[in-house]
Structure 1
């Protein structure tokens, strides 16, 4: 049975609206000042909802943090996958397309970069499972991108993909924390160099 309408919205629509407003507020606040320094009261004030309404949407801050992080990961994976699909089917073109899009997409909004590569670690156990799934997802994109390229397969592509994902993560942490931040083009150049050297077939 559909919920009663209030101001043109059903109960289900109001709940979805409040949930979305909380995710939007958390996207900014969890990035700066950060997850541990953001209270539920501040989230509710920013989202313009009551504290009681918060618990109708999320069990606690941890659950909200997971929702924000998972959305960031999903959007980034979609952007990278589309870029790789559009690239020419060569190792060099796919590396440049995938690595370049990942770094450009994440650094396009510093909030996304901070959430995905800094606050995810500061949050600790809250995001351990979500982070493992994200790493698995990104490493799978790498495997899919190069797995069918002739002579591009190293002995263990899965482990190498995990290592390459970690390399990009460290570069982006440097971009978030360094003052001044290294240029994005420099990050892309460094990351593509690492990928090329790691994935090129041995001669």
Structure 2
């Protein structure tokens, strides 16, 4: 039997559109009301969709929250991919370009910070997902820092395995510390009294210069 089409969309296309509507609504509701005060009814009202569709697609409020957070992680990875693909000429320019792309993405929509980094502390399961997200940020930071270290000649390719391992461990530690500091900065700005639809109040140019200098110095220690 041919698939029935409504408003020019197939059943799968309508389902995908409803899925995205619920993700958008979940981001808005969880950021504005917080996890504890949010309900499925709130999300459905924000999405303009029936609870029937919600339970067909997600089943539980927890599943929606995890999907919202997963989309944030995917968006971050895509933001980094595009910044790297732009092909900045040197390690410092490349690191600054990635930091700039990430800062711009988070600053433009502080709801992502509120949901992925603040509301995700609400339950043990969410905290595990948050830990994985933050760990991926730290891994990214280490990847940005490694070429900065190598450019300065501090990486000895002929060194012993133990020496190389120690240097990589030190780099990973520095990356984790810097990532934690950045996350705290974003959380403090996202948690300001300004409405969640406003941009985070950060003067990006001097901040990016400072962050690039910090990453470079930490990489070359």
Given that residues 83 and 97 in structure 1 are in contact (C-alpha distance below 8 angstroms), is that contact kept between their aligned partners in structure 2? yes
Distance 1:13 1:183, change over 3 A: closer
Alignment length (residue pairs) = 199
Question: What is the DSSP-based 3-state SS (H/G/I as helix, E as strand, rest coil) of the residue aligned with 1:31?
Answer: helix
Given that residues 145 and 216 in structure 2 are in contact (C-alpha distance below 8 angstroms), is that contact kept between their aligned partners in structure 1? no
Report the equivalent of 2:178. 164
Distance 1:53 1:38, change over 3 A: same
Query: Larger relative contact order (C-alpha < 8 A, sep ≥ 6)?
Result: 2
**TM-score under structure 1 normalisation?**
0.82
| Structure 2 alignment gaps of length 5 or more | 156-166, 195-199
Given that residues 111 and 190 in structure 2 are in contact (C-alpha distance below 8 angstroms), is that contact kept between their aligned partners in structure 1? no
| Structure 1 alignment gaps of length 5 or more | none
Report the equivalent of 2:83. 83
Deviation at 1:191, TM superposition (A): 3.2
Larger Rg: 2
Q: Deviations over 1:121-141 (max 9, x none)?
A: 2x3324223223222322222
Given that residues 138 and 176 in structure 2 are in contact (C-alpha distance below 8 angstroms), is that contact kept between their aligned partners in structure 1? yes
Given that residues 171 and 187 in structure 1 are in contact (C-alpha distance below 8 angstroms), is that contact kept between their aligned partners in structure 2? no
Distance 1:20 1:178, change over 3 A: closer
Moved more, 156-165 or 181-190: 181-190
